[in-house]
Chains A and B, each alone.
Chain A
């Protein structure tokens, strides 16, 4: 199928229908994500926000029934999760899993070098990698021992989120999805995480911020707000929409 793709778009999601188990969650969702922009998705519980993020990264829970996820001109719905990651899609998980026995540095170096190989670059040797990692760890205000601890094992909620941002910074993805990155963060952690995210803005990179609350949007300024209800985007607006949602709730919004 030949089709002209809009090169200003990072991702084009068209009529996406996704089920988890026996339940269809996304019911024909359409969403356009522009290059270099921050898109925020808000919506009530159970509307499909996390399912959308899972579907984009190819989570095994999700089954795409119909529709397309066009990423940089290519439909990725049949791609493996690692292929999507290597192509530059990154999901910051709401609940990052703990992996005992795999140290943080070893894991992250494996991921960074997998991406570098994919891009035809030389792998980072251990010393250079470690120096780089320590720099980001310091900037994020993480404890230095988190480098050598098992991946997310025994981390507090804030430490886990910082670790997600650390991975994001070192992997330098093009399309960043932040699933409830603000949940469980105190104000200091929220500020550190937000600064990490904002440091990644470069005019080309796109962000999809999934959140329940407007608080994070005080730190990461969105260009667009999308309201997701019952598996579809029902409204799209500018940053001013946040205030309206705060005052009137989701019920006030009809079809986009």
Chain B
């Protein structure tokens, strides 16, 4: 069926269609109230939602298989197949869903998911989550709930590997609850090409008192997709969010976010960088709302986009909605082309125009990639960007260089760091 056919359905009919039980009736009612998104919807007006909802899709019947121990947590078509022993994984339907989320597909994702994957790291943890999507022309819906215990730090690196879900629509996202004094560092690395699946990832992040989320998303490729996120910040909570987008072809891709400052002294910093080629459209539609209760908030937001030619378009809409005076806030947006002075400087040293442009684009991307903690993750991100941008990873193995062994002694790490080589 096509999801667009749900436009005329009642809440009960929607539940019946997805085989969902009555406990989800309020979600279905909220979906009906908001209506399926269309190009006229505020949050989806820049995205390519109509064609996503018009895909002819099979429904997926998910089953809870045994979980094999592994150093990574692997989610295959919405089901956990592998997990480290240090993480508690359970399937549940009893989580605190957000009944005031702005994104209708947040509700649809919950309705269409048979269960919620609840992940609870047992303490400080560095976790790799691998999403595998294998079903073609299928609606793959799954929700992940993350519970970060008080005063712990969890680092998650999320990637999308071995995906062959061509023609599918993936509705997924996190409901993340970061408890007092806890820190969640979440890095997403996703390359999506036009012949692949489409994804609408609808997130809800709740950051309790003195807790922090450090979110970095890296989206590359030529397919249309969207991430929407609602963030609630409690007292002295902090959000650090960065989004790097490289979109090509006819992709319409980006971020729609609402960051709500609810607690006093809460802080947020959201920075988006977009590199757009061909006829791609980048989306950064981001609202920061500072409630009456959020005195002494600090909120900063910025978007920078580079258009590589005349065809692409950046829909950049940073917004502040403020109800108090006692705060510090800023937002800004720039869209342009590569800096001609920088380009000339590189060319004046003998670097070709093509290479100089690549170098500057890489530099623009590096500013966010190199902010990520962890050399190996940085390397993965560099490789993903290179593959998306150049068509291949630009790796060299310095260990095979002849005649330089003496120079290599003690220098290998430095050389890798300086020149971005992978071994």
Contacts and interface: CB of A to CB of B under 8 A. Distances in A.
A96 B348 CA distance: 11
A57 B401 CA distance: 35
A111 B398 contact: no
B346 A99 contact: yes
Contact of B351 (A82, A101, A127): A82
Interface in A85-122: 85-86, 91, 93, 96-97, 99-103, 105-111, 114-115, 118
A111 B349 contact: yes
Contact of B347 (A85, A118, A167): A85
B59 interface: no
Nearest to B407: A127
B360 A102 contact: yes
B310 interface: no
Contacts of A125: 398, 401, 403-404
A99 B363 contact: yes
Chain A facing B: main interface SS: helix
Given A128-B407, A130-B415, A115 B350 contact: yes
Given A111-B349, A130-B407, A101 B419 contact: no
A164 B367 CA distance: 24
Interface string B313-356: 00000000000000000000000000111101111111111011
A143 B407 CA distance: 21
B417 interface: yes
Contacts of A33: none
Contact of B417 (A82, A99, A148): A148
B350 A102 contact: no
Chain B facing A: main interface SS: helix
A82 B404 contact: no
B363 A102 contact: yes
Contacts of A23: none
Interface string A121-156: 000011110110000000000000001101000000
A109 B346 CA distance: 12
B367 A101 contact: yes
Interface string B399-411: 0010110011001
Contacts of A215: none
B342 A101 contact: no
Contact of A171 (B349, B367, B419): B349
A106 B342 contact: no
Contact of B418 (A85, A91, A93, A103): A103
Contacts of A131: 407
Interface in B386-422: 396, 398, 401, 403-404, 407-408, 411, 414-415, 417-421
A59 interface: yes
B81 interface: no
Contact of A57 (B348, B353, B367, B396): B348
Interface of A: 57, 59-60, 80-82, 85-86, 91, 93, 96-97, 99-103, 105-111, 114-115, 118, 125-128, 130-131, 147-148, 150, 167, 171
Given A101-B367, A114-B351, 15 more contacts: A81-B344, A93-B348, A96-B345, A100-B363, A102-B362, A102-B366, A107-B346, A107-B351, A111-B351, A114-B355, A118-B350, A126-B415, A130-B411, A130-B414, A130-B418
Interface of B: 339-342, 344-353, 355-356, 359-360, 362-367, 370, 396, 398, 401, 403-404, 407-408, 411, 414-415, 417-421
